[in-house]
Structures are given as structure tokens and as C-alpha cells.
């Protein structure tokens, strides 16, 4: 691979013909190395994969990352080495791709299709210590009120977004994509849902802090 300064990288990638093709190939090779390092050293959830599998993943992700770098060339300000900046972009692409793979079978429709959108109280309580009957009964009662509140004051779209992000931990970008919206609009949707939920619970004499503390170990 040809060693380049920041200026040479930008000039070669923005040129045409063989000069650009060579620079693109060098860039993709570097990004593949950076992604492979990230997958093999930083991702404990991928330790079961073989070197061949990780290499194939890095190759596929490096292609996407190269396109992403080219789309964002004008945002490079020269505060670091170009290759360092490009590798950061590539790792973000890898993280996004892995998230998408993790949630490939996730569907917002499943959240409200079966009625109750909240899981049973027992799955919301940390630890393995058994609850006394009074506390268990109180949790079930409060959870029922929260579920009723969700049904009464939130739209289906608000319920889906709030439960997906706040309860099930689905990344914002995954939910936004399924809802065919953007992160900012989704954030506002969730903010409005939280506000409505808080207001309705407080009207019943319940505070969110009380509800959350009730389900602490």
C-alpha cells in the first residue's frame, strides 16, 4: 500500500481513473484491518467465530465503510491522521451493522400484537431473591396500572417506541428505521410518551420514581 499524507489521501480519493482506484483499494484494505481488529479484540460476543468468519465479516463491512468515508470526505478537518479518522468511521459502520444483525428478527408489530406490551413483573425484578407476598402483590397491582395507562393515554405508535427503546433496549436507529422516521422525530415521540405517562400516573397518586423503586432489588 502507498503511504500518503492527509492531503495526498484527499487528493487521490477525489481524483479519477487509476489514481482514485488505487487509493480506494488501499483505503478499503486499511479499513478491513481496522474492522478485523475491532471484531477480534473488542467484541467479546464474537469470540466463538473463526478467523475466517471474522475476516469475511470485516471484508463485507469494509466495503460499506469505504462508501461511508467517501460520502463524508468533506467532514474531515485534518485534526488527526486521515487513516485514523477513516478507521473510526469504519468502526461505527461495523457497530451499526452488528446491531442490525442482532435485531434482524425484531418487529415493532409484535410489541402490541399480543395485548400486554409490558413483560410480567417477575422479569422486571433483578436478582434471584424471592419476594414476600405483599411486595409481589404490590408490584403486580402497579404493573397493571401502568399497563392500563399505556393503553389509555398513549397511541399505539407511542407505545411501540417507548417499550422498544426504554424497556427492551432496542437502539434508536433500529426503531427509527422500522417506523420510517429519523432519530430526532423518534426522540420527540418518546419524550411526549414519557410526559403523558408521567402526568397520568401522577393523577393517580403514583410517581415514576415510586414505580421504578418498586421494581428495584
Q: Which three cell numbers stand for residue 88?
A: 473510526
CB 157 within 8 A of CB 111: no
Give the pTM. 0.60
Residue-wise pLDDT for 147-195, tens only, equals: 788 888 888 899 888 888 887 778 888 899 889 999 899 999 999 988 8
Q: What is the DSSP letter of 144?
A: H
Please report the pLDDT score of residue 215 as a whole number: 55
Residue-wise pLDDT for 44-91, tens only, equals: 889 999 999 999 999 999 999 999 999 999 999 999 999 999 999 999
Instruction: Give dist(CA 145, CA 104) in Å, integer.
Output: 32
Q: Which of 119, 159, 157 is nearest to 139 (CA)?
A: 119
Burial 108-137 (b: 16+ CB within 10 A, else e): beebbeeeebbeebeeebeeeeeeeeeeee
In the predicted model, is pLDDT for residue 128 greater than 50?
A: no
Instruction: Give dist(CA 92, CA 87) in Å, integer.
Output: 9
Residue-wise pLDDT for 134-148, tens only, equals: 777 877 788 788 778
Amino acid at each position: 500500500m502507498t503511504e500518503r499524507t492527509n492531503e495526498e489521501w484527499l487528493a487521490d480519493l477525489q481524483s479519477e481513473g487509476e489514481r482514485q482506484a488505487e487509493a480506494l483499494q488501499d483505503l478499503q484494505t486499511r479499513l478491513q484491518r481496522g474492522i478485523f481488529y475491532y471484531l477480534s479484540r473488542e467484541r467479546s460476543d464474537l469470540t466463538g467465530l473463526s478467523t475466517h468468519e471474522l475476516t469475511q465479516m470485516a471484508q463485507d463491512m469494509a466495503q460499506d465503510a469505504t462508501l461511508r468515508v467517501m460520502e463524508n470526505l468533506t467532514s474531515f478537518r485534518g485534526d488527526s491522521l486521515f487513516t485514523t479518522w477513516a478507521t473510526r468511521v469504519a468502526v461505527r459502520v461495523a457497530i451499526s451493522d452488528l446491531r442490525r444483525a442482532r435485531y434482524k428478527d425484531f418487529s415493532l408489530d409484535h410489541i402490541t400484537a399480543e395485548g400486554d406490551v409490558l413483560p410480567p413483573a417477575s422479569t422486571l425484578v433483578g436478582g434471584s431473591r424471592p419476594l414476600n407476598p405483599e411486595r409481589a402483590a404490590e408490584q403486580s397491582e402497579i404493573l397493571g396500572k401502568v399497563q392500563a395507562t399505556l393503553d389509555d393515554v398513549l397511541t399505539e405508535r407511542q407505545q411501540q417506541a417507548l417499550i422498544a427503546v426504554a424497556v427492551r433496549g432496542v437502539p434508536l436507529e433500529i426503531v427509527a428505521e422500522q417506523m420510517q422516521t429519523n432519530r430526532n422525530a423518534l426522540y420527540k415521540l418518546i419524550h411526549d410518551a414519557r410526559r403523558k405517562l408521567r402526568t397520568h400516573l401522577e393523577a393517580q397518586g403514583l410517581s415514576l420514581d415510586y414505580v421504578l423503586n418498586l421494581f428495584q432489588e
